[in-house]
């Protein structure tokens, strides 16, 4: 059976990552550090036999994916995939972690506890978000049996993929990193995802990437 190799990359750093401000589906670009990180991950993947790059259409992910495509000598197809967007955080978006705790304490508690059916007002719950990400990642992988595909997205997307590949429940405490511009490797077959390697940041020699939780 042909399997698909996946490299999943979280976007480079933004000013809102630095400020611990929830971005969700707001369109925030990379900052200078994030642009450098995107260039570094592009160089790190330049020799990989990439068949296609699929990216969230939000600027921070698209800019990161563009740097990967531009650094690759074979110019693999770069395809916008809106279903790879971050979880919708509704009224949390634009607020810092501290502001959410102070202004919306009841919702903040449910968020911290990862209540699966809780959605911030106007946002997505974890069940809906997980189903969206697992479905689109499997669909994209199925298009490329025997090939290598890059997915460029967001911290929440990386978290869902890790859980899918390791059998972690939605409410399990996170013990793995979600680093900006880290290289994460998975395999996909019709039976599901499996983990090959996670949070490789060896290409970031000035490793200032932030490890925010839900941006």
- CB of 201 closer than 8 Å to CB of 180: no
Ligand-binding site membership of 17 (annotated): yes
* Active-site residue identified among 33, 72, 81, 86: 86
Ligand-binding site membership of 13 (annotated): yes
Active site residue 154: no
Ligand-binding site membership of 130 (annotated): no
* Active-site residue identified among 11, 72, 144, 154: 11
Ligand-binding site membership of 10 (annotated): yes
Active site residue 101: no
Ligand-binding site membership of 14 (annotated): yes
Name the H helices within the chain.
15-18, 32-44, 59-71, 97-103, 105-112, 126-142, 155-166
Query: Where on the phi/psi map is residue 90: left (φ > 0), alpha (ψ -120 to 50), or beta?
Result: left
Distance CA 176, CA 183 (A): 13
Ligand-binding site membership of 60 (annotated): yes
Contacts from 17-22 at CB under 8 Å and sequence distance 24+? 17/180, 17/210, 17/212, 17/215, 18/210, 19/96, 20/96, 20/97, 20/98, 20/212, 21/94, 21/95, 21/96, 21/215, 22/89, 22/92, 22/93, 22/94, 22/95, 22/96, 22/97, 22/100, 22/214, 22/215
Ligand-binding site membership of 148 (annotated): no
Q: Which residues are catalytic?
A: 11, 86
| Residues making up the binding site for substrate | 10-17, 60
| Residues making up the binding site | 10-17, 60
């Amino acid at each position: 059976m042909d399997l698909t190799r996946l490299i999943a990359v979280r976007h480079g750093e933004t000013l809102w990552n630095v400020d611990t401000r929830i971005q969700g589906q707001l369109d925030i670009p990379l900052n200078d550090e994030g642009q450098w990180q995107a260039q570094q991950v592009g160089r790190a993947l330049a020799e990989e036999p990439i068949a296609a790059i699929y990216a969230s259409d939000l600027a921070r992910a698209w800019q990161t994916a563009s740097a990967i495509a531009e650094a690759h000598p074979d110019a693999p197809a770069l395809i916008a995939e809106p279903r790879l967007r971050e979880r919708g955080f509704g009224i949390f978006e634009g607020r810092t972690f501290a502001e959410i705790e102070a202004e919306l304490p009841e919702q903040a508690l449910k968020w911290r506890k990862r209540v699966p059916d809780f959605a911030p007002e106007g946002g997505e719950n974890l069940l809906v978000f997980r189903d969206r990400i697992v479905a689109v990642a499997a669909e994209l992988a199925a298009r490329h049996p025997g090939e290598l595909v890059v997915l460029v997205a967001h911290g929440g997307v990386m978290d869902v993929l890790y859980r899918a590949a390791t059998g972690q429940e939605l409410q399990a405490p996170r013990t793995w990193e979600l680093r900006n511009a880290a290289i994460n490797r998975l395999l996909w077959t019709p039976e599901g995802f499996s983990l090959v390697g996670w949070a490789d940041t060896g290409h970031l020699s000035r490793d200032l990437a932030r490890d925010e939780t839900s941006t």
